[in-house]
């Protein structure tokens, strides 16, 4: 009994001490409004620098670094130089939680930027919510992210559920004589891809486009050949692929070509927007006619985008068409946070969250940004892009002045 009491007392003291220290960490993090003169502002970021999302993680890192360079060249945020504290999460939803806990508790960062993907943004947002930190991110636009009801999470990009709507509108507006008659839907069970694909199924069905294949595959699948062969065997005229990365798209394209199957329309939700990386993986001749939905491309007329692309090319080389959309998504995160910091006059996360929820319209390289109550950006328009030769061009919405004619039907592979 004596031992038990002693044990209980020790446990109680330890619990109270832990609670106090946790509160101190939370408080210091949430109210990091005042920084000593000349001290850098530390921004904590978890990125997928290895694992499934490593290609996107690297592009995000480029975007964040590009933004930090630009801000520091212009004197920093409110006179404080920006210092990025980037840790790798290996594309793991578990590691991303540990990383943000470390960034806040141990590294004592002042602000936090988001990881890559909806899969990682939600756990990151939940974790930072407990510390009172705002999480501004650029690649967590899946509906499941916003259904979490988090008040501290803000996605500066296009909410993904509506990504394919301009594409569906274009297909259904084609004259009945040339409109495709059959479609295959094949998607990874990822929060980024599935909502996009399911959103347009009803629209295409109502227009008389019959589904001849509709399957979901687990995200951990690495051998896509049998699935692609099954799609090819169904001979759909349209293939809608719910993909997150380049390897998935290139595997389907290779299997289609080997099966002697060329759909009239081929659109993938992610991968073809990766610029040079996509071209290197699939070969320049094969990209022709491949489509992808997004809210931005390297040739965007937005002055902020033009400035960013010019600086990107100066730093990393390449062409405007080769700039991954991940870069601009990350860059836009920085732009939005900078405007919130300027508007609130400091680095107080509580004030920043309130400002971002205030309905203020901010600007970014992707276009205007305005958040609703769950952190969705309500302003962007979805576009569809297509590789035409070595060019990555906007093709939808058809009536948009910047859209060019869709390459339809898609040329045979390698032609």
Beta strands (DSSP E) in 139-196 are 153-155, 182-188
Using CA atoms, how far residue 322 sits from 205, 292, 294, 309, 341, in Å, is 35, 14, 15, 10, 31
Through-space distance between the first and last CA atoms of the chain, rounded to whole angstroms: 84
CA dist., res. 292 & res. 272, Å (int): 6
**Residue 401 touching another protein (CB under 8 A):** no
Q: Which is nearer to another protein, 57 or 142 (CB)?
A: 57
**Residue 389 touching another protein (CB under 8 A):** no
**Residue 317 touching another protein (CB under 8 A):** no
Stretch near another protein under the rule CB under 8 A, chosen from 152-160, 164-172, 277-285, 403-411: 277-285
Q: What is the torsional sign of CA 209, 212, 216, 221?
A: negative
∠375-379-383 over CA atoms, to 5°?
115
What track of x and - describes contact with another protein for positions 55 through 94 (by CB under 8 A)?
A: x-xx-------------------------------xx---
With CA atoms as reference, report the closest residue to 146 among 117, 120, 113, 122.
Answer: 122
What tokens does 395 get? 């093709």
In whole angstroms, the minimum distance from the beta carbon of 255 to another protein comes to 8
Among 40, 76, 93, 247, binds another protein (CB under 8 A): 247
Q: Which is nearer to another protein, 54 or 199 (CB)?
A: 54
With CA atoms as reference, report the closest residue to 154 among 321, 349, 300.
Answer: 349
CA dist., res. 102 & res. 96, Å (int): 10
Among 176, 223, 301, 317, binds another protein (CB under 8 A): 223
Q: Which is nearer to another protein, 173 or 189 (CB)?
A: 189
Q: Kindly give, in sequence order, each residue whose CB lies less than 8 Å from that of residue 166, ignoring residues fewer than 6 positions away.
A: 293, 382, 383, 384, 396, 397
Contact 77, 32 (CB under 8 A): no
Show contacts with another protein in window 278-307 (CB under 8 A).
Answer: 280-283, 286
Q: Which is nearer to another protein, 136 or 281 (CB)?
A: 281
Stretch near another protein under the rule CB under 8 A, chosen from 70-78, 169-177, 199-207, 240-248: 240-248
Among 37, 222, 399, 401, binds another protein (CB under 8 A): 222
Q: Which is nearer to another protein, 227 or 406 (CB)?
A: 227
Beta bridge partners of 187: 216, 242
Beta bridge partners of 14: none
CA dist., res. 64 & res. 79, Å (int): 19
Q: What is the torsional sign of CA 294, 298, 300, 303?
A: positive
Contact 262, 256 (CB under 8 A): yes
| Total residues binding another protein (CB under 8 A) | 43
Q: Which is nearer to another protein, 245 or 348 (CB)?
A: 245
**Residue 221 touching another protein (CB under 8 A):** yes
Stretch near another protein under the rule CB under 8 A, chosen from 132-140, 197-205, 274-282, 330-338: 274-282
Q: Which is nearer to another protein, 75 or 414 (CB)?
A: 414
**Residue 260 touching another protein (CB under 8 A):** yes
**Residue 379 touching another protein (CB under 8 A):** no
**Residue 411 touching another protein (CB under 8 A):** no
Show contacts with another protein in window 173-192 (CB under 8 A).
Answer: 189
Among 211, 259, 319, 363, binds another protein (CB under 8 A): 259
With CA atoms as reference, report the closest residue to 390 among 289, 301, 304.
Answer: 289
**Residue 50 touching another protein (CB under 8 A):** yes
Q: Give the interface with another protein as residue ranges (CB under 8 A).
A: 49-52, 54-55, 57-58, 90-91, 189, 215-218, 220-223, 225-227, 229-230, 245-247, 250-251, 254-255, 257-260, 277, 280-283, 286, 413-414
């Amino acid at each position: 009994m004596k031992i038990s009491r002693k044990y209980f007392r020790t446990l109680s003291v330890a619990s109270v001490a832990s609670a106090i220290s946790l509160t101190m960490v939370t408080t210091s993090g949430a109210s990091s409004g005042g920084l000593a003169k000349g001290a850098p502002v530390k921004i904590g970021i978890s990125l997928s620098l290895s694992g499934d999302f490593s290609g996107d993680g690297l592009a995000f890192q480029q975007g964040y670094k590009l933004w930090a360079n630009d801000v520091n060249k212009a004197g920093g945020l409110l006179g404080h130089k920006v210092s990025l504290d980037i840790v790798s999460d290996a594309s793991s939803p578990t590691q991303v939680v540990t990383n943000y806990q470390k960034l806040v508790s141990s590294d004592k960062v002042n602000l936090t930027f988001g990881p890559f993907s909806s899969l990682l943004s939600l756990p990151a947002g939940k974790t930072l919510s407990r510390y009172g930190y705002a999480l501004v991110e650029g690649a967590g636009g899946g509906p499941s992210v916003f259904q979490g009801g988090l008040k501290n999470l803000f996605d500066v990009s296009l909410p993904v559920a509506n990504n394919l709507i301009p594409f569906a509108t274009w297909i259904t507006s084609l004259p009945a004589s040339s409109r495709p008659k059959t479609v295959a839907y094949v998607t990874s069970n990822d929060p980024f891809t599935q909502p996009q694909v399911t959103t347009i199924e009803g629209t295409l069905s109502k227009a008389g486009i019959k589904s001849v294949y509709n399957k979901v595959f687990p995200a951990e699948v690495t051998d896509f050949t049998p699935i692609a062969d099954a799609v090819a065997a169904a001979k759909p005229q349209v293939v809608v692929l719910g993909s997150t990365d380049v390897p998935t798209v290139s595997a389907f394209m290779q299997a289609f070509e080997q099966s002697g199957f060329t759909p009239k329309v081929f659109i993938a939700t992610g991968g073809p927007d990766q610029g040079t990386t996509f071209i290197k993986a699939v070969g320049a001749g094969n990209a022709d006619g491949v489509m992808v939905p997004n809210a931005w491309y390297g040739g965007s007329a937005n002055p902020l985008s033009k400035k960013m692309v010019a600086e990107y090319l100066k730093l990393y080389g390449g062409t405007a068409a080769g700039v991954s959309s991940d870069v601009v998504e990350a860059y836009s995160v920085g732009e939005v946070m900078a405007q919130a910091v300027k508007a609130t006059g400091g680095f107080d996360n509580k004030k920043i969250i309130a400002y971002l929820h205030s309905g203020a319209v901010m600007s970014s390289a992707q276009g205007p940004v305005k958040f609703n109550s769950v952190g969705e950006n309500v302003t962007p328009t979805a576009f569809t892009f297509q590789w035409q030769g070595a060019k990555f061009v906007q093709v939808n919405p058809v009536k948009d002045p910047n859209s060019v004619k869709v390459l339809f039907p898609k040329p045979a592979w390698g032609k």
